[in-house]
Structure 1
Amino acid sequence: MPHDSDERRCRIVARRTGPLLVEGPVDVTLEDGTTVSSDRFCVALCTCRRSRTYPWCDTSHRSSGPPPVPHES
């Protein structure tokens, strides 16, 4: 998807065993259509679905170990 300028680009850092780190501020649209916002300069988005503050990461993934890796068929 082309961008009009670099100012509109958002940087996301993906880690295999942790959250997605997103440079903010951000608006996140959830699967039910609601939108949550953060004005922080960087936010951690939960990818393991264990967070009590989903979609924000609360580091719950640390105590439970990494989620299982799906097997490729």
Structure 2
Amino acid sequence: MPNAPSDDPRPEPPRPDQPRRITMRRRGPILVDGPVEVELEDGTTVSSDRFRVALCTCRRSRRYPWCDTSHRDRA
């Protein structure tokens, strides 16, 4: 059945004609519906094929630019 409902809870990736959803959180990471590519200040590019990624805004993450919840220690 090609149109059978899926048990996969992940949202469908956006089509090229649809905008990406970005969720801003006060005192937290920026959530971006993936997959994503992030260009860093030094020009290198990192990517993730996850259905949603959390981008660090506090720069405390050991996995920068990905959030590792280090902001919770001092929030």
TM-score when scaled to structure 2?
Answer: 0.77
User: CA RMSD, aligned part only?
Assistant: 1.0
Match of 2:49 in 1: 39
Cα deviation, 1:31-71, whole Å, max 9, x if unaligned, reads 00000000000000000000000000000000111xxxxxx
Matched pairs, number: 60
Amino acid aligned to 1:47: T
1:25 equivalent in structure 2: 35
1-structure distance, mates of 2:21, 2:71? 22
Q: Which has the higher helix share?
A: 1
Could you tell me which runs of 5 or more consecutive residues in structure 1 were left unpaired when the two chains were aligned: 66-73
Of residues 2, 17, 20, the one that matches 1:5 is 17
Distance 1:34 1:25 in 2: 17
**If the length of structure 1 is used for normalisation, what is the TM-score?**
0.79
For structure 2, the 5+ residue unaligned runs are 1-15
